[in-house]
Structure 1
Amino acid sequence: MLFRSSRLVLALCAVLANHAYAADQFSVRPQQLQNLGITLSTLSPSSSSSLSVSYPAKVILMPDQEQVVSSALNALVTQVMVQDGMAVKAGQPLLRLQSPELSSLQLNLAQAASQSRLAQAAWAREQELFTTGITPQRRLLEAESARQQADAALTQSRVALQLAGMTSAAIQRLEKGGKPESDLLIVAPTAGVINAMSIHPGQRVQPTDALLHLIRPTPAWVEIQLPIATANRYRPGITLQVGDPAINAKLVSLSPVAGGTQTVSARAQLLSKPSQPWLPGTVLSAKLPVIGGAWLLPQAAITRQGAQAYIFVRSKEGFDARPVTVSATSGQLVRVEGPLKAGEQVAVSNIIALKGIWLGESGMEEE
């Protein structure tokens, strides 16, 4: 009894399978095909360079491309000489600050420079006296120690002013007895582009405050968000296009999938400079080549029943409605994947008429 039931179940499954397959096949006579004006196209594998797909991208910076400019002193901003997006050269003035602490640091430097000169003179005198045998070596060693301590104090005072933002030229003038500076001029430590500047004249700043960010926008980098299903087709080293007008870039890395997201972050480096610097955060479009075995068809060849895409493949009796996956679109072309073979013929015009015949024979309702 159990054996007979099993055979019955298998037979029923076969009937259902044949019915499902038959439902996707429908007859179209040659004369009817001509009357409907159906055009056929022969399938050929698509090349990876013939179709591209666009993904959102954003300009980013590498850690070594950004430098924060700040003050080591509590100060008042008296003048701002630059603005966001401005290109500056190394040593170019950026800001002018006033700080009571600056006077104290300059006084320390002046005193340290004076002590260093006195210690140097005392050491030279003791060395001469020791050479002639007038003083013992102990006096010379004491003078040498005093000279080294004075030099160390002078170096410390120089570094304090350098950290505060004073230029080397201003420090040298002060060491030689020059007039103390009444304010502090902050200059660009390197060439770059001003970015993320939020200060204004009259604002008080602290040592922990970032006055502005100085970035080096070249080489430019972009971060591209790729769907997980698509990302595994790409490998570092492929060439893509970014922006409009398009600039070639090289895919450098693919990050692991972040928890809770359905995308993978890909990073690419531009192979040439854009006409204007791209600032971080700028949103662009990146076009990646379609990679993998697939088929190129006109959009007119695709029909949908519910959420499923189909194409009509020519058969001996008429057509097969084949389910396919549309993985990319470019202009009037689509890239499809599915149970297809090279050399098969696909209907590419008047698809609505074929869909009506198909649904009429299968008993399905059009969606």
Structure 2
Amino acid sequence: MITQDKRLLGGVAGAVLLAAIGGFSVARYTAEPSPEAQKTENAEEGTVAHADNLAMTEEAIGKAGIAVEAVRAGGLGSEILAQATVTAAPAGEAIVTARAGGAVTQVFKRLGDPVKAGETLAVVQSRDAAQIAAERTAANAKAALAQKNLARERQLYEQKVSARVDYEQAQAEAVAATAEARRAQVAASAANITRDGGGAIVASPISGRVTAESVTLGAFVQPETELFRVADPSKVQIEAAVGPTDAQRLAPGDRAVVELPDGRTIEARVRAITPGLAGDTRSATAVLDVRGSLQPGLAVRVRLLPSRGEASNAIVIPDEALQTLEGRDIVLVRTKQGFRARNVTIGQRSAGRVEISSGLKPGDMIATKNAFLLKAELGKGAGEEE
């Protein structure tokens, strides 16, 4: 009897213990994770996923290469997508030529080297330069002599020793000599004559980098021969080809968004639209002012937002910003802690862009490039909770 009671008690105790363990397990998987647990999971990556929220540090966002962009109102009909090219602004590129003919005796810069405004790139040893230097020296000497003669004639005229005509003649000679000296000085400055007068300095008029060089040490060059090209990457513009109908909708000052090959976007403004169409492409050119350093020749895509565009409250985002999570269309919206998945309703699509009918409002910051990485982290969090 005692043995049987012990068995019964043992069975009851085991059932209670099993129920307690089961209840603990259910509570652990259904309860909200504690802040401490959230801070420890995925600590190395700097991300913590729970439900539709994803805590993520700035460092982790940067390492993942996630781009963030502010959304604005305007449907697909209010955007003009165009292919464009980064070009040097008129003041952002300089062609450096030889000011005098002669042999290249020194070369200080090569392709890709940085240069400062006024810095010497090469030196051309030139007979023309030597002649210009000699004319400058002779003109300066004549001007100095004419000034001395003028001073002497003035003194003699004041003492009533010489006639007034002699004094006036000395004045005329001094003015002519001074003008000749000034002309010779300007000619020497234009040719960038060296101090010894035997060569011409080839200097860059702007700061930037050497983008082209066609100079060989010892080669003979003619005057005005192009030797270098220097470009300042901070002084660039973007030229976008637009159709004749779209060109009529654009106006100076209209906003534009430049999409770079690495996924980044930068703001730009329309500065001008060419009044005529190109003969080969039958398209107009929209010239955009943009801040920042871009490489001339870089091919980019621009989204032009014309002031005469169709009015729409719909928001347009890149296709890569739209993700699907558990059968829902979502967009990852930036928060103070990281990102939050927000359900959205999509509309029409075109050229890698998609309209959002509801779920976003102008000014929201959303993840665009590599947004799928955030969706994957949220998917992990959802799987763990299930």
TM range (shorter): 0.5 to 0.7
CA positional deviation for 1:96:
1.0
2:206–2:232 contact (8 Å) kept in structure 1 = no
1:144 maps onto 2:160 in alignment: no
1:261 maps onto 2:277 in alignment: no
Q: Counterparts of 1:211-222 in structure 2 under 5 Å?
A: 211-222=227-238
The aligned counterpart of 1:346 is none
Letter in 1 for 2:197: E
In 2, distance between residues paired with 1:195 and 1:106?
A: 31
Q: Counterparts of 1:205-216 in structure 2 under 5 Å?
A: 205-216=221-232
Question: Which of residues 351, 355, 371 is equivalent to 1:329?
Answer: 351
1:297–1:199: structure 2 CA closer, same or farther, 3 Å change rule? closer
Question: Which of residues 199, 206, 212 is equivalent to 1:183?
Answer: 199
The aligned counterpart of 1:278 is 295
In 2, distance between residues paired with 1:201 and 1:194?
A: 17
Query: Runs ≥4 in structure 1, deviation > 6 angstroms?
Result: 49-53, 293-299
CA positional deviation for 1:221:
0.8
The aligned counterpart of 1:292 is 310
1:293–1:148: structure 2 CA closer, same or farther, 3 Å change rule? closer
Give aligned-pair identity as a percent. Answer: 23
Question: Which of residues 88, 97, 121 is equivalent to 1:61?
Answer: 88
> What SS class does the counterpart of residue 213 from structure 2 fall into?
coil
1:105–1:52: structure 2 CA closer, same or farther, 3 Å change rule? same
1:235–1:251 contact (8 Å) kept in structure 2 = yes
In 1, distance between residues paired with 2:102 and 2:356?
A: 62
1:132–1:246: structure 2 CA closer, same or farther, 3 Å change rule? same
In 1, distance between residues paired with 2:136 and 2:100?
A: 16
2:98–2:222 contact (8 Å) kept in structure 1 = yes
Letter in 2 for 1:249: A
1:80–1:96 contact (8 Å) kept in structure 2 = yes
Question: Which of residues 73, 80, 87 is equivalent to 2:107?
Answer: 80
TM-score where L is the length of structure 2: 0.55
Structure 1, unaligned stretches of length 5 or more?
1-45, 171-179, 300-325, 337-367
1:103 maps onto 2:130 in alignment: yes
CA positional deviation for 1:285:
2.4
Letter in 2 for 1:252: R
The aligned counterpart of 1:311 is none
In 1, distance between residues paired with 2:250 and 2:145?
A: 70
Which piece of structure 1 moves more, 192-201 or 95-104? Answer: 192-201
TM-score where L is the length of structure 1: 0.58
1:202 maps onto 2:224 in alignment: no
In 2, distance between residues paired with 1:154 and 1:297?
A: 67
Aligned CA RMSD, in angstroms, stands at 3.5
> What SS class does the counterpart of residue 91 from structure 1 fall into?
coil
| Cα deviations by residue, 1:225-252 (Å, 9 ceiling, x for unpaired) | 2344555554443322222422110122
Q: Counterparts of 1:158-177 in structure 2 under 5 Å?
A: 158-166=185-193, 170=195
Q: Counterparts of 1:287-366 in structure 2 under 5 Å?
A: 287-288=303-304, 292=310, 328-330=350-352, 333=354
> What SS class does the counterpart of residue 118 from structure 2 fall into?
coil
1:233–1:127: structure 2 CA closer, same or farther, 3 Å change rule? closer
Letter in 2 for 1:284: V
The aligned counterpart of 2:158 is 131
The aligned counterpart of 1:157 is 184
In 2, distance between residues paired with 1:236 and 1:118?
A: 59
1:213–1:296: structure 2 CA closer, same or farther, 3 Å change rule? closer
2:127–2:198 contact (8 Å) kept in structure 1 = no
In 1, distance between residues paired with 2:118 and 2:94?
A: 14
Letter in 1 for 2:117: A
The aligned counterpart of 2:271 is 252
Letter in 2 for 1:224: A
The aligned counterpart of 1:48 is 74
Structure 2, unaligned stretches of length 5 or more?
1-71, 320-347, 358-386
CA positional deviation for 1:330:
2.8
In 2, distance between residues paired with 1:91 and 1:289?
A: 41
CA positional deviation for 1:269:
0.8
> What SS class does the counterpart of residue 106 from structure 1 fall into?
helix
